[in-house]
Each structure stands twice: as structure tokens, then as C-alpha cells.
Chain A
């Protein structure tokens, strides 16, 4: 039994099931990071004058700027991979999806160097509330990156992309959903970057 509107859109809503599902899921993600962002505001207001700015100056702004650019590029490539599928160009899709995964890997490698240099200087989550919220927010964001990479790697490898050959529209929808998630993860970083590194 095929469940209705898995692939095609329901006329009144103009959505298929998965697209509505991912929007609801992203709403819950907004609340998750929203909760943590409000914790950040709460702690910043409660902290001694200048405490957050002092600890914030220990972070590496050039590396984070580079990371921001890397993530924005990955947002572009993930859109391109979906657009390639819409244009029925499967080889281009493989290329752009591969580039997206590459960007995600570069992001994580840079993040790894940032983390280890913090540990090297003796800055741990327990050092101050700023460091605590920094590690929590970026750590959770990093987990989201890894989650997205697992899904996109699956769609990149033959095991996941064989659906293209039997039901191209279904596969294209899946890439669109993964792309929406990926944009959200990028968007979170766009918020994290200024509040942690620049303020």
C-alpha cells in the first residue's frame, strides 16, 4: 500500500508529506537552538561586566571567518546538486554533492584545530561560563553537521542514490529535504559566529 502524497503534492496544501515533515522538524530545531540562545543571553546578562568579552577574545576570528565562508559555499553547492537533479544531470549532482561533503569535512577539520588549540591553552568548558556555552553550542552544531553528512553521504553513495534510477522524482525530493536541513544548519552557524566570536 502506497501512502498518499509521499511524492506528489496534496493540492490544497501544495506540499508533499516529507516537505511538511521537515518544516515541522526544523521548527522544533529552532526551539532547541532558541532555548540555548536564550540561555546565552541570560548568562551574558548575569555575568560580571566584561567577562564574556574577555573570554570571547580568546577565540580565533580568522579561522571562524574562513569556516563561515566554507559553510556558505556548501549551502550553494547543495542547492546546485538539487538543481542538477531537476535538470536530469546525475553526474553534476554527484559532483556538487561531493563538493558539499568536502566543505563539511573542511569545516569539521578547522573546528578540530580550534578545539585542540583551546585545550592546548588550558581552556575547557569548565573554565568560564562563556567557554561552557561556546563548547556546548558549537559542539551541538557540530553534531548537526555530522548528522547531515551521514545522510548526504548515503545519498551520494550507490546504496542511497540507486533510487534515482527507479524513481527520480522521489530521489530529487529527498535531496531537497536534505538541502533544507543543511541550510538550517548553516543558518545556525550564521547566528553562532557573531554572538560567540564578534560580540
Chain B
């Protein structure tokens, strides 16, 4: 990523430090720029956020939060992990293969992806990663339905468990069509079929010799049928984590808990019928555009319901500004910016101007980078004592938080300016050759320096983890005075058992500051 940002800020200049990896001159070549772009998207989504949010937090916290000894299918869990491992190795090893890594973008649009090198290995890696997600999310669904502790009814589930539940359904139902699409694209590449190749297609100056009558649009439909629900796979667990941290640190119940649950379920359902808003410019017709534009506007409603409930939850709370809370709090405006900037993209008319510009990059990075990733940081700081039995350092945590917040905005805010000026994404030179881009190109250097500093801001985080594992302040089983069930297990939990005895649940998830109670929190497991 930083190599790409170097190229955008200082085109045709040898890259420092890692330049020797890129060949004799040390200058980033266009082919490698494209590879890095495609692999950045793939790695961040399929090897980064999904495994962290669903694989790691889902697997670890869901059984604890519902008072279960383990996931429903431990072997399936292992299979999911190893499938992920193999898929990850295949993906990453593609950088070192003679063909190089995939360079058709993470969206892999045909016809280009049929001809560009490196794509076959990408598809094989994807099949493993999809299988891993499928097995993992099946496991989460069954665990939540079957293994809830006695007394833990559906309306007593923490918000995080609800969001994991909806997310798992999205993964189970949306990933298979991408697997189908990957199989078809693999056939196009290996067996020379023409699922995605129209008749009379000219590539590199010659007509392509295939049967023809296929359609590149077919890929886009199948791909976005996955990839739009995927967006909600990335954001829903983040919302769940933020909900947990907010309730704990405002010391009051989440406002509108049941509306948020309904909103999450509705969000999950709607996410299956908005996919073609990624395709307004493909010429699929105004009737289709009108339909998908309407559904896209509708899906913004549940997102706003959730975000508004979070904001109102802060009202009248006694807020503790610890590190997890800071990350959770900053999630709200950052996700807000990401969400609101999506509206002009969801309307067919304004999307014509903004499509495939840096505006889009800014929009979805606001959702997943300072949005989801900040929520994941909140989750790591919040649950670290449960997992290791030691707290993370607050001072280092704040040293991590403030620069991260500033530099995140330093990177992504100027993208809106560039995008509105019409600078296209995926340009090797950052748009240098275009006259209309000249007025906004000076931002490239600003964004790149922000990116380097953001990288540096993660150093305190890594140091914090390493120090805290061994020398952090010892934490008892409930260091945050929280109500949900995971905090009644020892820290760290008992291996293969989680809890010492039988768990029984007597109350809802967020009973903070109940009038006339002795403490300001009533754990779910206490009578």
C-alpha cells in the first residue's frame, strides 16, 4: 500500500527501502502497481477484515457471550481455519510466481481478467477462502441457535451476537454465487469457454478465438451479488463491537436495542437486492437503475437507525474515556461520513459523475478503515483482558488512537476533493496526464505522507500488545464492570469449557445503572 502511495506522490522516483524488490531501477512498474492494487483489496477484505471480525472475534466471543462451552462443531472450526490458511498461502505466494499476482482489481472484471496473468491462482485461492468463510459462518449460526445458555432468550442476546448472526447468514447465502462465478471464470481461463466473452471480441489487436455469445455483465451480476452483502459483512460485526463498548462505557443501557436488532436483520435482508447500484454505468437500462436506486435509498434507513441509536445512547451517560471507548466513539462520525457520502453514489444520476473516481475510494474507505478497523481496535482493547488476563496500557493506547484518527482523515478526506474533480481511481500515475486533474494533484503528496505516518502510528499498538501480554496490569474476570456473560468466565477462559460451572441467565444484556441496585451494573448471570 505504502509503495503505491509513494508512486502516486512521487511518480517515477525509485521507492526507498523496498525498492530493490521491484527490479533494478527501484521504480514501481505499472504491472506491479496493478497487482498491488488488486491484492490490497483482496488481502484486506478476504484475509484481513472478514477473518478478524467473523473468524476471530465471532469464534472467540460468540460462545462466551451466549454462555456455551465451545462452538457447535469444533472440527468444522478447525477445517475452516486450515482452509483459510491454505487459501491465504496460495494468495500470498502468487506474488512470487512467474506469472505474478492477479492484476485485474479485486473485482476481477472480465474480459480483462480472462487474459491477464496471475488470475488463475487468485481464483483457486478464492475458492479456499470462500469455503473457509462458509464453514465458519455455518458454525456460528448453529452455535447461536442451539447453544444459548438456559434463560438466554433471543431478546437477551448482546448486540454483537445478533450482528454475528445476521453476518453469518449473509456469508452463507452470498458467498456461493461468487464461488459459482469463480468456477465459471476458471473455466473461461482453463477450458477456454466463453461465459464472459462476447462474440467478436478484439484483444491486443486480434479477434479472440472463442465460441462467443457470453457476457461480461454476467460476471458483474454474480460478483456484486456477493460483494454487496459483503459490505455489510464488513460493517455489521463492527457495529456489534461498538454497541458492546458504548453500553459498557456510558454505564447505561443501549438506547433502542430492539430497533437496532430489527434494523440489523432488515439490513441483512435488503443487502441482497441492492447489488446492481455498482453497475449504473454498464448500460443495463434505466428501469433496472431506478429499481436498484430505490432499494439503495431504502437500505440507508436501517443504517441510520443504528447510528442514531448509538448517538442517543450517549445522551445522559457517565462516559469513561478509555481507549476502547475512544475508538468506538470515533467510529460514529467516521462511519457517518462513509455512509452519507455513499448516498450520491447510490443515485443513478449523480453516480455518472462520481463513478470510478477517488470519491468512491474515499467513501468505502471511510466505512471500512476508520469505521470497521477502528471498531476492531476497540474490540481488541476491550476484550484483550478477557483473552490474556492482562489489560493493555492506556497511555500507549491513546498514543495509538489520536495519530491514527488524524492521519486516517488525512488520507481519505482529500480523496473526496480529488474525486469530485474527476480523478479516476486505479491510475498508475495518479491522474497526472489529465488536464482536469492538475488542480488537485498536490493532494497526492499530502495523502501519501499521511499514509506513512499512519503506518508509524501503529507502532505503539504493536509495542502495546507485546508488552501487555507479558507485563500488563493483571485483570480480574470483569475489569470493565460489564454485564454480558463473557465477563463471568475467568480471564483467560477455561480451555475447552470456557466457564467453571453451569451458566444460567436471568436478565437482559445491558442492565447498567438500574435504580435501587447496589452496583451500577447487573451481570446477566446474577439473580
Contact = CB atoms under 8 A, between A and B. Distances in A.
Interface stretch (B215-223, B443-451, B482-490, B514-522): B215-223
27 contacts: A3-B147, A4-B68, A4-B69, A5-B72, A13-B145, A15-B146, A17-B73, A20-B141, A24-B138, A24-B172, A27-B172, A28-B172, A32-B176, A32-B180, A35-B179, A35-B181, A36-B183, A38-B222, A42-B221, A46-B215, A125-B192, A127-B211, A129-B193, A129-B211, A129-B212, A135-B187, A136-B187
Interface in A105-125: 124-125
A43 interface: yes
Interface in A9-59: 10, 13, 15-18, 20-21, 24-25, 27-29, 31-36, 38-39, 42-43, 46-48, 51
A63 interface: no
A39 B213 contact: no
Given A5-B147, A35-B222, A133-B195, 11 more contacts: A1-B70, A3-B68, A3-B72, A15-B146, A18-B73, A21-B139, A31-B174, A32-B180, A35-B177, A132-B187, A135-B187
B145 A126 contact: no
Closest 4 pairs between A and B when the two form their complex, measured CB to CB:
A35-B180, A35-B177, A132-B193, A32-B176
Interface in A123-146: 124-129, 132-133, 135-136, 140
A20 B173 contact: no
B433 interface: no
B147 A126 contact: no
Interface residues of A, number: 42
A124 B187 CA distance: 12
- Which of the four size classes fits the interface of chain B? 35 or more
Interface of B: 68-70, 72-74, 76, 134, 138-139, 141-142, 145-147, 172-181, 183-184, 187, 191-195, 210-215, 218, 221-222, 225, 496-497
Contacts of B175: 28, 31
B72 A17 contact: yes
Given A25-B138, A35-B177, A129 B213 contact: yes
B24 to A, nearest CB: 40
Chain B's interface: helix, strand, loop or mixed, by majority?
helix
A14 B194 CA distance: 47
Given A20-B142, A24-B138, A126-B211, A34 B187 contact: no
Given A28-B138, A28-B172, A3 B70 contact: yes
A39 B179 CA distance: 13
A28 B176 contact: yes
A132 B142 contact: no
Given A126-B211, A129-B193, A31 B177 contact: yes
A51 B142 CA distance: 45
Contacts of A126: 191-194, 210-211
Which of A32, A48, A135 neighbours the largest number of chain B CB atoms within 10 Å of its CB? A32
A137 to B, nearest CB: 10
Contacts of A27: 172-173
Contacts of A135: 187, 191
